[in-house]
Structure 1
Amino acid sequence: MDGKVCLITGATGGIGLETAKALARMGATVVLVGRDPGRTEAAVTAVKEAAPDAHVDRLRADLTSLKSVRELAQAFRSRYSRLDVLLNNAGLIIDRRQVTEDGLEATMATNHFAPFLLTNLLLDVMKATGPARIINVSSDAHVAARLDFDDLQSEKRYIGFQVYGTSKLANILFTRALAKRLQGTQVTANAVHPGMVRTGFGHNTVGFFRHIVKLGAAFMISAEKGARTSVYLASSPEVEAVSGQYFYKCRPKKPSSAARNDALAERLWQVSEQLTGVKG
């Protein structure tokens, strides 16, 4: 990974931080994206401790805000002329519906619309870089999910874990549609299920899911183990030409039938373009 630049969202803890450490140890320049300045600086320190010779940078962004995502892309472009790995890792789950400044439901805004916009804003940089890789962190929570385009913002019905699952389904559909658009380029796009990972994720909820997270902690894997597939997809020569797949434990895994629905993927792409103004 010497000379390669990796941009990682949700990098202040958990899987994102462990992935950053691993890639930094391999010689990559890692750019950590975080919302909280204190936590972001602490993450930079942790990566530098893990890889003292690595170049570690940080950028601030609030991924619930489309304006902030655009500013993030611009800030990155002002500092770097190449992007070898984009890891859309940041994730959110909340048990009460919240609406962002853009009028979007917060979970879908953070987990799908933000990476959709950020990826599209940085695609030309990645195409110019040469072989480059996009990795979208999804989850097996997508399996029972469905996309209701008549209620994409969950105004009629909101159940936190179901909305989270829908956002993870959107991640895979986005990856699938993106991979088709990248055919003929040197840029690949894949999605990953990291497994049930023991991190701080879900602890900001107060309802049923918080209790599930606590009860299941003893059976969850460490963040370091959860990061292995993301690291593999970012660095392994074995997957240099692989695109449009869903990975678990460093191997392709068949996602749900809904996640393999190309018509659904295309419709989501069109709606996402409209809601993010990505062509504007």
Structure 2
Amino acid sequence: MRAAVIAIRAGEFDGREDVDTSLGGCIRSREVRREPRRQIPACLPWKELEARVPIVVVLAGHAGAGASTVAMAVAEAMADGRRTQLVEYTEPARSGLVAAARIELGAEGGWWRRGRRGHLDLFRLARSPADGQPSPPEGDGEARLMVVDAGWPLTTALLETRSAEAFVHDERSVVVTRVSVPAVRQTERVLAAVGDEALVAAVGPARWPRAVEASCGPRLAELRSRHRVVRVPIDRRLEITGLTGDRLPKSVAAAGRSLAALLVPAVAPQPRHRRRAEPSRTGPAEEPE
């Protein structure tokens, strides 16, 4: 019993789990067995953009963590400083962004449905990732930042292939967890794959119950001691309606800005260039030199 308790606190569970999605065709079976550590360098859809586009990956520490809401808050905070895309790699039927756009711009590239929310471009899958390798959304040539909402199914697939550390820069990663005993236990396993510099978005009260603190694994406890855990308050309206075209609650938007500020050393926002005002046509004409 003591060994079982130690294993649970460390996030070590059994070796078989169901996977609800595939990683660009790299995982076909719904049941995945743990195998020796290996890397699958061509599997992640955004891998080809990593050298050219700064990417922030928001991972769910467990099912129902609230990764889409946190990804939205981070992306909107980043969009104040540079052109930003929020890309959701989730089955269309499970999308948390289905009603989040203020303007729907239709299908794009055969894989994506595009929307606009202020300065933020939203992309969500139009068909299942099990149908093939979804190519990343096309850019418009402007320097931009991509925030990836990986969701729980994709995060699970990453963990089962033991490939998360090969594709996710830990200083650009945000792991989302609820403040509960089972949630922090599962989140420890995700942190073990991502790295020591990840940020944690803790959805729940500012003061953690003692039972939750006692259930924290060593990685989460260390991140808390280094002030790399940001509280995201629970908003009752969002819990009922989900993400809509309305503005995020002020408290949630503030949490997104706090996360973005900690991500700035890894992904520095670029100031927007405003168009220069044209000279007045009614004023006196300049004399030729």
Name the TM-score class by shorter chain.
0.3 to 0.5
Higher helix share: 1
Q: Which has the higher contact order (CA 8 A, sep 6+)?
A: 2
TM-score (norm 2): 0.38
Higher strand share: 2
